[in-house]
């Protein structure tokens, strides 16, 4: 059994005019929400063994805040997760290390909403910032995730 948690980056700042989208940092709410959401996962007994993130600053910082709560030191950054469409998520997941049983992927809208909405019968209209969508698949290798039957596990977000 493999468990996948998909996390949209926490709330970002739009304060600096002309700043590249890739370089937008988290705002105060984002810096509060990310550790809170990681703590909610820990309260569920979830401590992932693999974190994978878009390298964009807001996703990277969200992943780092989660990692610090989990006591995880390694985060794998995949440039292709920056504004990735659903097929890219499957490609990244298919290449994950099979030693990991619980993986977390940090990315962006609109692709992240599209991706989670096709995983199971549960449809999400919009992944709020710092939302977590979790699914499980009865597989032994991540390479089989795309075609495996996935089961909805839970959905949580900061204002829930």
CA distance 114 to 97: 24
Tell me what pLDDT residue 117 has.
96
The predicted pLDDT at position 95 comes to 98
Residues 110 and 84: their CA atoms lie apart, in Å, by 8
Domain that holds residue 59: 2-13+21-156
- At 80 the three-state DSSP class reads helix
Which two tokens mark 29? Answer: 């709410």
Question: Cβ–Cβ contacts within 10 Å for residue 63, how many?
Answer: 28
Considering its fold, how many domains does the chain have in total?
1
Nearest CA to 50 among 102, 89, 106, 108?
Answer: 102
Residue 96 CB neighbours (<10 A):
19
Mean pLDDT of 15-30: 92
The string of pLDDT tens digits covering residues 70-126 is 999 899 999 999 999 999 999 999 999 999 999 999 999 999 999 999 999 999 999
pLDDT of residue 15: 84
Average pLDDT over residues 41-57: 97
Q: Residue 44 is part of a domain; what is its CATH number?
A: 3.40.50.1240
Q: pTM for the complete prediction?
A: 0.97
Q: Measured between alpha carbons, how far is 25 from 21 in angstroms, rounded to an integer?
A: 9
């Amino acid at each position: 059994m493999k468990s996948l948690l998909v996390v949209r980056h926490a709330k970002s700042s739009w304060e600096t005019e002309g700043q590249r989208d890739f370089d937008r940092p988290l705002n105060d709410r984002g810096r509060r929400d990310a550790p809170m959401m990681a703590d909610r996962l820990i309260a569920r007994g979830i401590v992932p063994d693999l974190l994978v993130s878009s390298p964009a600053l807001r996703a990277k910082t969200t992943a780092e805040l989660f990692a610090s709560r989990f006591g995880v030191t390694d985060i794998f950054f995949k440039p292709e997760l920056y504004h990735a469409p659903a097929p890219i998520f499957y490609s990244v997941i298919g290449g994950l290390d099979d030693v990991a049983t619980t993986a977390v992927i940090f990315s962006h809208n609109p692709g992240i909403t599209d991706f989670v909405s096709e995983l199971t019968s549960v449809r999400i209209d919009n992944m709020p910032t710092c939302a977590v969508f979790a699914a499980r698949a009865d597989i032994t290798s991540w390479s089989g995730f795309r075609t495996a039957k996935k089961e909805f596990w839970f959905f949580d977000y900061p204002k829930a």
